[in-house]
């Protein structure tokens, strides 16, 4: 990746759904697992290949976790013009949190671009 990555407004992200899933495994210090469903749309006229992601999870109280890696869910999918790629994954948190980030992609000519992940909230339910 180069340092000259441009934001690309023809690649857009929609957080389709966020679900609290207490039945999933989670470490004692972050006992609240959430599954999120995301769709990435290519509204441009050229194929785009997702190469990397960066998630920023800011828990109430200020603890910040940054998750970076290649592709999404072990893939580097190519999204053709007018198509989308959907997947689900999860985060674990100790407290309710705000989440945002970006996806990084490569256009067919080798130019790198990014698009922002809209901010969403992981709201830990009040236990009775």
Q: Nearest-CA neighbor of 39 among 89, 96, 3?
A: 89
Q: Nearest-CA neighbor of 14 among 44, 40, 51?
A: 40
Query: In this predicted structure, what is the pLDDT of residue 25?
Result: 94
Query: In this predicted structure, what is the pLDDT of residue 128?
Result: 44
Low-confidence ranges of the chain (pLDDT < 70): 1-3, 127-128
Q: Are 79 and 48 contacting, i.e. CB atoms less than 8 angstroms apart?
A: yes
Query: In this predicted structure, what is the pLDDT of residue 3?
Result: 60
User: 6-122 has which CATH code?
Assistant: 2.60.40.1470
């Amino acid at each position: 990746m180069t340092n000259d990555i441009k934001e690309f407004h023809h690649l857009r992200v929609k957080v389709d759904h966020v679900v609290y899933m207490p039945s999933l495994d989670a470490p004692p210090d972050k006992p609240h697992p959430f599954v999120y469903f995301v769709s990435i749309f290519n509204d441009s006229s050229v194929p785009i290949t997702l190469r990397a992601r960066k998630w920023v999870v800011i828990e109430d109280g200020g603890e910040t976790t940054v998750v970076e890696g290649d592709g999404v869910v072990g893939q580097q999918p190519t999204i053709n013009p007018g198509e989308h790629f959907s997947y689900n994954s999860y985060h674990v948190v100790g407290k309710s949190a705000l989440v945002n980030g970006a996806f990084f992609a490569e256009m067919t000519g080798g130019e790198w671009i990014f698009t922002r992940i809209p901010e969403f909230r992981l709201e830990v339910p009040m236990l009775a």
